[in-house]
């Protein structure tokens, strides 16, 4: 089959690889009908996530049709022919975190848990196409994928919703929703979102449906800000204005009640000297992440507010504003998304047309053109917001 594989930092290719096979009794093989490139794939592309190997199949946002099931999967759970959306965290469904709904902390799904434990103190769950720290599972930017624990993870789509309407349930829609969910939004809350990429857009939509009074989008790409503006949000271009003063102005001096970081480790900064300070430290491997958005979100948030982090950070950061955080009583919340628990509620919101995930799709390309998709998404060319690939 054809698959998008990682070659070396900044290079991916589409090549022929063997077809996936059942390895565990609760596996299923899915023939992929739609898959997407995620912002976090760009961190893998650029080599910021350790333990990538040449030949690793990329991709953790995919859906398709079940073509084979393992011996332990009963027909009441999943059958050949079922149309499924596959959550990016691989979760067993029976360990304590899974039973409690924290599937992204599954204790059984990562065969390389020992290695992840050394970096993070405790292991991570397994994930599709997301380095060997999360298990070394082949991803879904391919024609087929092996899906472990297929009787627990995948969501069957039995209505006539299009792929484009449900594909983002795999990751970015639940991730954006979780960001807003962490904010415990109250009536009249002002929610500021750093990053108007796909996750940021969905965080804004989710803040809206959860009752925010005003939603503010912060970015520097005019086309991304325009997309947010069209959806009804206030926009701030950090390349043109001082973010903190504008936020104070927009909130009567209080600061946003809730701040969401949907940027992560490869952020940009309006001031070149600050950008290059962190960029050089990152290149020298003396920090792994450039946390501009996180720093600014903490400093901007009102006293006693909530800072919700869904941008991906990978290791260590410098100049963390701990004084602002503790003295002003901020709550900092973050997680890899336990996608499973958001699947059904979000599917219902899509069915009720409260959320329209298709609004962010700017490019639909054949799988063969995945490297081009990575290129335009990374460099923000052709007004690229979200690339969907069709195998």
**Interface residues toward other proteins, by CB under 8 A:** 1, 3, 5, 17-21, 23-26, 51, 53-57, 72, 92, 94-96, 99, 107-115, 117, 126, 129, 132, 135-139, 144, 146, 148-149
**CB 140, min distance to other proteins, A:** 12
Cβ neighbours of 47 (radius 10 Å): 13
* Residues 342 and 355 sit within 8 Å (Cβ to Cβ): no
The CA-based dihedral angle spanning residues 144, 145, 151, 154, taken in that order and rounded to the nearest 10 degrees:
-90
Closer Cβ to other proteins, 21 or 156, answer by number: 21
Q: How far is the CB of 72 from other proteins (least distance, A)?
A: 7
CA distance 313 to 306: 18
3-class secondary-structure state, position 335: coil
Q: Which of 183, 228, 182, 223 is nearest to 204 (CA)?
A: 228
| Residue 163 and residue 169 in contact, taking contact as beta carbons nearer than 8 Å | no
Residue 335's CB: how many other CB atoms inside 10 A?
15
CB of 199 to other proteins, least distance (A): 24
| C-alpha–C-alpha distance, residues 111 and 113, integer Å | 6
Whether the Cβ atoms of residue 156 and residue 83 lie closer than 8 Å to each other: yes
State the nearest-atom distance from the C-beta of 290 to other proteins, in Å: 26
CB count in 10 Å sphere of residue 323? 9
Distance of CA 280 to the CA centre of its chain: 26
Residues 6+ apart with CB under 8 A from 337: 88, 89, 104, 171, 174, 175, 178, 310
Is the CB of 22 or the CB of 209 nearer to other proteins?
Answer: 22
Q: Which two tokens stand for residue 25?
A: 């009794």
Question: Among residues 53 and 271, whose Cβ is nearest to other proteins?
Answer: 53
Q: Which residues contact 267 (CB under 8 A, 6 or more apart)?
A: 290, 291, 292, 293, 311
Question: Looking at beta carbons only, is 111 or 188 nearer to other proteins?
Answer: 111
Closest CB to other proteins among 58 and 297? 58
Residue (270 or 315) nearer to other proteins, CB: 315
Smallest separation (angstroms) from other proteins to the CB of 304? 31
Q: Which residues sit opposite 31 in a β-bridge? A: 65, 144
23/284 with CB nearer other proteins: 23
Identity of the residue, 85 or 92, whose beta carbon is nearer to other proteins in the bound complex? 92
| Minimum distance, C-beta of residue 244 to other proteins, in the bound complex (Å) | 42
180 in helix, strand or coil?
Answer: helix
CA distance 155 to 145: 15
Nearer to other proteins, 307 or 389 (CB): 389
Shortest approach of other proteins to residue 266 CB, angstroms? 22
Q: Which residue has the tokens 């962010």?
A: 360
- Yes or no: say if 193 and 215 are a contact pair by the CB < 8 Å rule: yes
Minimum CB–partner distance for residue 352 and other proteins (Å): 36
The least distance separating other proteins from the CB of residue 376, rounded to whole angstroms, comes to: 25
């Amino acid at each position: 089959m054809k698959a998008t594989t990682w070659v070396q930092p900044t290079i991916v290719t589409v090549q022929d690889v063997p077809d996936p096979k059942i390895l565990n009794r609760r596996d299923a093989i899915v023939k992929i009908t739609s898959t997407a490139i995620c912002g976090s794939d760009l961190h893998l592309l650029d080599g910021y996530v350790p333990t990538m190997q040449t030949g690793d199949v990329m991709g953790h946002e995919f859906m398709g049709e079940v073509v084979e099931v393992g011996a332990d999967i009963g027909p009441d759970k999943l059958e050949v022919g079922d149309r499924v959306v596959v959550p990016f965290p691989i979760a067993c469904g029976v360990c304590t975190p899974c039973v409690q709904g924290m599937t992204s902390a599954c204790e059984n799904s990562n065969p390389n848990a020992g290695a992840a434990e050394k970096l993070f103190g405790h292991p991570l769950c397994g994930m599709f196409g997301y380095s060997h720290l999360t298990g070394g599972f082949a991803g879904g930017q391919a024609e087929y994928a092996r899906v472990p624990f297929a009787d627990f993870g995948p969501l069957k789509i039995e209505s006539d919703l299009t792929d484009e309407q449900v594909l983002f349930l795999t990751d970015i829609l639940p991730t954006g929703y979780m960001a807003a969910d962490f904010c415990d939004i109250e009536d009249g809350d002002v929610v500021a979102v750093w990053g108007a990429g796909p996750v940021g857009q969905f965080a804004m939509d989710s803040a809206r449906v959860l009752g925010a009074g005003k939603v503010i989008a912060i970015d520097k790409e005019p086309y991304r800000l325009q997309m947010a503006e069209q959806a009804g949000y206030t926009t701030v271009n950090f390349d043109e204005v001082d973010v903190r003063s504008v936020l104070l102005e927009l909130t009567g001096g209080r600061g946003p009640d809730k701040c969401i970081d949907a940027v992560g480790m490869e952020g940009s900064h309006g001031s070149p000297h600050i950008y290059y300070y962190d960029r050089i430290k990152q290149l020298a491997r003396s920090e792994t992440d450039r946390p501009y958005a996180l720093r600014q979100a903490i400093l901007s948030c009102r006293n006693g507010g909530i800072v919700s982090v869904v941008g991906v950070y990978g290791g260590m950061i410098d100049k963390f504003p701990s004084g602002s955080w503790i003295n002003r009583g901020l709550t900092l919340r973050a997680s890899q998304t336990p996608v499973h628990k958001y699947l059904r509620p979000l599917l219902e919101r899509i069915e009720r047309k409260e959320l329209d995930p298709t609004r962010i799709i700017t490019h639909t390309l054949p799988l063969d053109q995945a490297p081009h998709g990575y290129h335009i998404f990374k460099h923000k060319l052709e007004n690229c917001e979200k690339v969907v690939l069709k195998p």
